Amino acid sequence: MGDFWTEKRLHEMNEKEWESLCDGCARCCLHKFEAVETKSVFYTSVVCRFLDQSSCSCTEYSRREKLVPHCIKMTASNIEQLKWMPSTCAYRKISEGKPLSWWHHLISGSRNTVHEAGISVREKCVSEIYVHPDDIEDQKVHWVHS
């Protein structure tokens, strides 16, 4: 039997399989903006207040949608509409028929590879609690692409 992520479509995965696809990069937790004129999305170095920046995991994962109104729960039915997701995102890659990256824990066998490879936001971001809302757009980064 092969790897579930190559044998199943996203909507066929159970909850455990779905959750295990997350590589733990936390790029989806970065504040992002859409340029009105071009519709292109740009990311900032500012992250949600509930992100544990060391582990790159949400401290309020089960309540995140209630606590953060703009937090979007990814599902198999909405992933294709979320074109702003980083190009490195495992959910996006699988939905586009692309293979997981070498640093993904399901390939490498280690959850630390995403950090070691410099893919995660660890040591690259600042919590929104330290940035005035009017200044968030000024924190644009170029190391994340949608």
Structure tokens at 114: 């995403």
Outline where the chain has alpha helix (H): 4-7, 15-21, 64-67, 90-95, 105-108, 113-116
What is the reported pTM? 0.89
Backbone phi, then psi, for 65, in 5-degree steps? Answer: -70, -30
146 residues of the chain, pLDDT tens digit each: 569 999 999 999 999 999 999 999 999 999 999 888 888 889 999 999 999 999 999 999 999 989 998 888 888 888 877 788 899 999 999 999 999 999 999 999 999 999 999 999 999 999 999 999 999 999 999 988 87
